[in-house]
Amino acid sequence: MKKFLLTLGTVASFLPVAAFAQEAGIHDAGLIEAAKAFDMQDIAMALSMGFGAIGPAIGIGLIGGKAAEAIGRNPEASGKIQSSMILCVAFAEAVAIYALVVSLIIKFA
């Protein structure tokens, strides 16, 4: 039963890929025209958001790991540690939001 559910889940996860595999615009216009329509602005937007999200993701992971270690060592201080952790995660997430704003400025400017 477990193998059947795993197979069913795998097939179901690839169904949307097969359904949306080919866009009408790329097929009708040809690949050369589609490549000409691709703008460097899109690459800049993707890179700014991607690189801007790497730092906060690593930071949030480190914050969570160190907070779990600290709570494991001193369970009585879990309230103080958790409030400090949430505050630090909010500051780290703000950097990712700044990267999103920069990428939107690149897209629409």
Q: How far is CA 96 from CA 51, 80, 101, in A?
A: 9, 25, 9
CATH level 2 (architecture), domain 39-109: Up-down Bundle (1.20)
Position 34 scores a pLDDT of: 63
pLDDT in tens, the chain (109 residues): 767 766 766 766 655 555 555 555 555 556 666 666 667 888 888 888 889 899 999 999 999 999 999 999 999 999 999 999 999 999 999 999 999 999 999 888 7
Position 3 scores a pLDDT of: 73
The structure's pTM equals: 0.59
**What residue spans define the domains of the chain?**
1-37, 39-109
